[in-house]
Structure 1
Amino acid sequence: MQKKSLDAVLERLMTVFAVDSDSELARKLDVNRQTLGSWRSRQSIPYALCVNISEAEGVSLDWLLAGEGEMLRGGSISPTSKPAANPQEDAILALFRSLEETDRREIQSAAEEKKRIRDIEQRLEDLTEALAVARRPA
């Protein structure tokens, strides 16, 4: 594997896991930071690891290793399960696809953080309601 393609694979792995650094990627892959450095110096990444990530995360192995095709496996969604076209979503997706890989990662990370915060807010609201119910006299 050439350096350029190895760096591209590691960039795509960062996209998959929505991380910005080798240290964060190493944590997500459950390997030492030094292991990642070793992959960089050898210009090689374990193929089995890529296959496992592809299966676990639902990403296309072609996309992960070669940058070809759609990121997610099964890119062809059956017509019955495909949501109706939404012009706003189409415009956002077109803009997203026109960006560089690092910009895409930043946007994905921000969106995931926003969802995480919304989930926490919803959980807090649910707990507040449950506490109010528990405090009511029987």
Structure 2
Amino acid sequence: MDYDTMIDLVARRTDLPSEQAVDLTRVTLEALNERITAGEALDLAAQLPKPLQGLLRPPDETAEAFTADELIRRVGREAGLPGPAAETGVRAVFATLREALPGGGFDELTADLPADFRDLAQPAPVTRQG
């Protein structure tokens, strides 16, 4: 999936303008990067469109342990979204990643994360625009 398609899907899933969908996607990937291992970050980056690859850098070999609720709080704070909108945004980015990563790549990524992260990754509907 190319960059523009990913951003368009996030925008439609959240009813946000494209510029905000770009910020939301960036912030979500940066927060996820803190939670996954360096190897997982490199694997994920290799599967993303070039404009998103640089967001995932191996911080070190250990992942920072935090809950999905903390991920949502971090995204909300950085993206300037209130709690419910931040959760919707994270769900939209995760659902888009699920579609974008080939061969179950997103399921592999989230397999080692706690169940609350996998719950966030459940498919979100796409809003049909008119």
TM, length-normalised to structure 2: 0.23
TM, length-normalised to structure 1: 0.23
Work out which of the two has the higher radius of gyration on C-alpha atoms and give 1 or 2.
1
Taking CA–CA contacts closer than 8 Å with sequence separation of 6 or more, which of the two structures ends up with the larger relative contact order?
2
